Amino acid sequence: MSVMTSTPDRVHIVGLGYVGLPLAVAFSKHLTVTGFDLDPTRVDELIRGHDRNGEVQLDSVGGDSLEYVTDPECLSDASFIIVAVPTPVDENNEPVLDHLESASRMVGHAFKSRSEGLQPPVVVYESTTFPGCTEEICGPAIGESSGLEPGVDFKLGYSPERTNFGDAEHTLQTVIKVVSGQDEETTSLIETVYGQIAISGTHRAPDIRTAEAAKVIENVQRDLNIALVNELAILFDRLGLSTSDVLDAASTKWNFSRYSPGLVGGHCIPVDPYYLTYKAEEAGFHPSLILAGRNTNEQIPGFIEEKLRSLLGGKGKHLTDCRVLIMGVAFKPNVSDIRNSKAITLAKLLAESGARIEVYDPLVDVNIMERMDLVPGGDPSEMNGRYDAIIVATGHDVFLDGSVDNYCEWFADSGVMIDIPGDFSPSLQDLMESRGDLYWRP
């Protein structure tokens, strides 16, 4: 049987997290949407108009064309299903496919009670993974739990998410959407469906494996570019050079691509490369460059710790005797997302070294920080004279709103500031040095 040739009137989305919910809301402006999630608390919050992730405006979470459910039987007669579940790695940096496999088996189990005479449904995956995963793992999981034959009784597709959380310019609707399917007919249908929300258009990959590979290398490339400048930052620090000054000079050349050194966290860049390296090793190839980039970026919290030790030592202080404030625990500026945050890694590393660590992030709920075994320090403006060192780990805009004079008042004496994002103006460095404090940026 062939898949339907016309646009379906309803889309089912499995997983209502950072990727699935924005998809559901976007599609609900054009089609009827059923959003499914296993977490009843999450579904209840959405029904009440609350997105705990802060990615969707409250007034757009609900609506007559969007329903939220926890019963997987809603998928039994579905014609177009999008699976958007997490694909993390474990402590050994091996891909964790549990969410993908369980979601696929759940979809397959629902298909067992599918009404007769319906056209084969299309199941599209958005989760980042390695080339071959959709057809080699997800499809068979649906088939085994449903008794249906992949590619015949149901069709597979892949359209990788390209969500950039906290970015108002590069949104779900404004980025080009890569689409792919098991065959030409399926790809055309997927392109038609996504074309309703992809204002900038779609790109048809020749097959699913190509689309999977394209997605994963987007973040591999960013990881490697950042790793290069992180390694240069370590080198230039030893040579007594300012990395930002070097980058300013190099950036005057027309074909120089500028990246900034810093902590590399989040749900994509520190995770996705391991999906490709896993598949590479499986194919008998050792991806040394990709792994080297990962190793470099994972070393940055340790580099910052050693730099803080050195700077404090120059002031006659020892890290174990110091009170240190870390500003920003989200993994990137202007979001509340703490997944794989290297600011948290840094905080725990310094705490293990004996420093008294406090954290401050007005965008992250205090209860969440406490559950991560962090010590919230309160509003630093009320803690004058409290800290021996301040580390700006995440460059939230709110940190730049106040007067630079305020920061200097927070130091006990002979303070040290490490500005990892390097966002503060030179006036702060000048002011600190005039007071006998130290300011350093990678």
What residues are annotated to the active site?
268
Task: Give the residue carrying structure tokens 């290297």.
Answer: 342
Q: Which of 290, 384, 299, 400 is nearest to 346 (CA)?
A: 299
The string of DSSP codes covering 376-393 is B---GGG-TT-EEEEEE-
Q: What are the Cα distances from residue 277, in Å, to 114, 292, 293, 403? A: 38, 11, 12, 46
Contact indicator for 226, 269 with CB cutoff of 8 Å: yes
CB–CB of 213/135 below 8 Å? no
Query: Angle formed by the axes of helices 300-314 and 342-352, to 10°?
Result: 50
Q: Are strands 32-36 and 155-158 parallel, antiparallel or unpaired?
A: unpaired
Nearest to 56 by CA among 83, 12, 18: 18
Residue with tokens 């559950």: 371
Helix (H) or strand (E) holding 179: strand 177-181
